[in-house]
Amino acid sequence: MEHVTQVSAALIWRGDRFLACQRPANKTRGLLWEFPGGKREPGETGEEALVRECREELAVTLEVGEVYLQTLYRYPDLTVELTVYEAAIREGELTALEHNGLRFLLPEEVGELEFCPADRDVLEKIKTIGRVSHDL
């Protein structure tokens, strides 16, 4: 039976732009862009993992909203089930504690950066639909 790694990610909007983070050069898929978040630890919900990861990596506390998209992606080295939540920064100053860089992108700027392959479905939805919830 295939092991699936559960990953939670945040879709954080600032006006019409969403947050993208560049992975550190020394990590797998180094220097590719991704949504903030990370792997769930045992016993965590997706929302709890997302809040913890963003506190550890970006020095912010999130308010987590609805699921934006869930997708399964098979990399050569692992299979991830990626759950992307709409989220908003509630406390803290956005700081790249682990990432190589941070950038807020317009949906039409998606093609300018090279994202992790698991993010393709999310990026397509952003380009076609954009922001779903304006409540956060």
Q: Which residue has the tokens 């994202």?
A: 115
**112 belongs to a structural domain:** yes
Number of domains in the chain: 1
**134 belongs to a structural domain:** no
- DSSP 8-class letter at 120: H
Give the Cα separation of 14 and 58 in Å (integer): 15
How far the first Cα of the chain sits from its last, in Å, is 38
Nearest by Cα to 12 from 125, 131, 115: 131
Per-residue pLDDT tens digits for 41-79: 999 999 999 999 999 999 999 999 999 999 999 999 999
**133 belongs to a structural domain:** no
pLDDT over 80 at 136, yes or no: no
CATH of the domain at 123: 3.90.79.10
**136 belongs to a structural domain:** no
Q: Can you give the residue range of the structural domain that contains 55?
A: 4-128
- The region, left, alpha or beta by phi > 0 then psi within -120 to 50, assigned to residue 134 is alpha
Per-residue pLDDT tens digits for 4-50: 999 999 999 999 999 999 999 888 887 899 999 999 999 999 999 99
**61 belongs to a structural domain:** yes
Give the Cα separation of 24 and 42 in Å (integer): 25
